[in-house]
Amino acid sequence: MENNFKLMQGNEACVEGALYAGMRFYSGYPITPSTELMEKSAIRLPLKGGKFIQMEDEIGGIAAAIGASLTGLKSMTGTSGPGFSLKQENIGYAAITEVPLVVVNIQRGGPSTGLPTSPAQGDVMQAMWGTHGDHPVIALSPSSVREMFELTVRAFNLAEKFRTPVILLADEIVGHMREKIVMPKAGDLEVVNRKEPAPNNENYLPYAVDEDSYVPEIASFGNGYRFHVTGLMHDETGFPSNSTENAEKLIKRLMAKISENKEEIIDFEEYMTEDADIIILGYGGTARSVKSSVKALRKQGIKAGMFRPKTIWPFPEERVKELSKQAKAILVAELNLGQYVLEVERVIKNNCKLGFVGKANGEVLMPDEITAKAKEVL
């Protein structure tokens, strides 16, 4: 019997997912616990005629990826906390220039050098606010090796469709563990490619959008259209413009690009939430502990359920609000001292009780700890 399953490491699955989605350019800088992303890309890319380069620093890593994406290749860069901090300026650059890009952050203990080999989820708010200025954000959070594959494919699809940097916010737990994965075959998963403009349009404007779309059709460099791309506020021609009217128009469109497409972008998993008295919210590697805890609570006769965001940003506001109206309590579990819980708090207001269980000492959250807290909250 042909069984296309493998024992694969999360980071490796991420690269395989990227390749499946059509990635043909990777640039980056070594940093634990993300280095396997680079190493696997270095091996696999040239075999597919793709390009890999280890750049001289983290910033070079993201800059080269943006350059390659502008030139038509699906590109990825990976890192962890310290590198994620360094990359922020250019994440904003990709956002305003509307260049498709996937940035992988395998979160580790911070701040600063922190705990290089220990898991954490302390970059959640940074993923949203790390780069200066108002800007659109999409961030996905995988909970298994399989999702390291699938959500990477999704990250590329969203990046291509919405012409925006997408952050794959993983953690050391999921990045380094090895699990069974059945490798999807070609055609099993949807792969989306960016729209490019038809050739020979004399009136081509790289940053113009159709009325019902928010996404411009930007040609790749060298394909016959010559235009300007800049990180300055710009108009439809791509050239700089500092007029108030233009700045207003551009920033609103950039934000609407994501906010008006929230329904399509937001994704989550629910486990036993229908009749739950307490709903435990967890994402990434922590969700594994949460699920285990929910099962244990149910065995003890407590109606627990799990809500697991797969898109961290945009925040699944509507669904969380709904859940807060039907449950008695929501408990947020994350590997930090309270970041995502702030969003939950903002959204549920006083609809139900809100609890928090977190850690930032390098250890994972044990199911027992979550179970104990859940009982306390109820």
Partner 1 sequence: MMAQNEIRLTGSGGQGLILAGIILAEAALLQGDNAVQSQSYGPEARGGASKSEVIISEEDIDFPKVNKADILLSLTQIAYDKYKKTTKESATVIVDSSIKIDETLKVGKVIRIPIIDTASNKIGKSIVSNIVALGAIQEETGIVKRGFLEKAVLNRVPAKFKDLNRKALSEGFNLIKE
Partner 2 sequence: MASALTEKYIRSDKFPHMWCPGCGHGIIMRSIIDAIDRLGLEKDKVCVVSGIGCSSRAPGYMDFNTLHTTHGRALPFATGIKLANPDLHVIVVSGDGDSSAIGGNHLIHAARRNIDITTIVFNNNIYGMTGGQYSPTTPTNYFGTTAPYGNIDRTFDIAQLAGAAGATYAARSTVFHVPQLTNYIENALRKKGFSLVEAISTCPTSFGRRNKKGDAVDMIKWLKDSAVTTTKAAKMSEEEMDGKFTIGEFKDTEAPEYVEEYDKLIERLKGEDNE
Contacts with partner 2, residue ranges (CB under 8 A): 25, 27, 46-49, 51, 53, 55-57, 59-61, 63-73, 75, 89-90, 93, 221-224, 226-232, 239-240
Is-contact 151 17, C-beta < 8 A? yes
Task: Determine, following the binding rule CB under 8 A, whether residue 176 of this chain makes contact with partner 1.
Answer: yes
In angstroms, give the least distance from the CB of 46 to partner 2.
Answer: 5
Residue with tokens 């959250």: 365
Q: How far apart are CA 279 and CA 331, in angstroms?
A: 6
The listed partner (partner 2, partner 1, none) that binds 17, CB under 5 to 8 Å by sort, is none
In angstroms, give the least distance from the CB of 58 to partner 2.
Answer: 10
Interhelix angle 244-259/81-97, nearest 10 degrees: 120
Please give the residues from 30 up to 49 whose contact with partner 1 meets the rule CB under 8 A: none
Q: How many CB atoms lie within 10 A of CB 314?
A: 19
In angstroms, give the least distance from the CB of 52 to partner 1.
Answer: 25
The listed partner (partner 1, partner 2, none) that binds 239, CB under 5 to 8 Å by sort, is partner 2
Is-contact 178 211, C-beta < 8 A? no
DSSP-based three-state secondary structure for 269: strand
Nearer to partner 1 (CB atom), residue 8 or residue 101? 8
Stretch that binds partner 1, among 12-20, 36-44, 225-233, 286-294 (CB under 8 A): 286-294
Is-contact 121 334, C-beta < 8 A? yes
Which residue in 292, 345, 375, 378 binds partner 1 (CB under 8 A)? 292
Which residue in 42, 72, 85, 179 binds partner 1 (CB under 8 A)? 179
Nearer to partner 1 (CB atom), residue 22 or residue 184? 184
The amino acid present at 264, given as its one-letter code, is E
The binding track of 198-237 with respect to partner 1, each residue x by CB under 8 A or -, is ----------------------------------------
The secondary structure of 78-130 as a DSSP string is EE-HHHHHHHHHHHHHHHHHT--EEEEEEEEE-STT-EEEEE--TTHHHHHHS
Q: How far apart are CA 62 and CA 60, in angstroms?
A: 6
Task: Determine, following the binding rule CB under 8 A, whether residue 359 of this chain makes contact with partner 1.
Answer: no
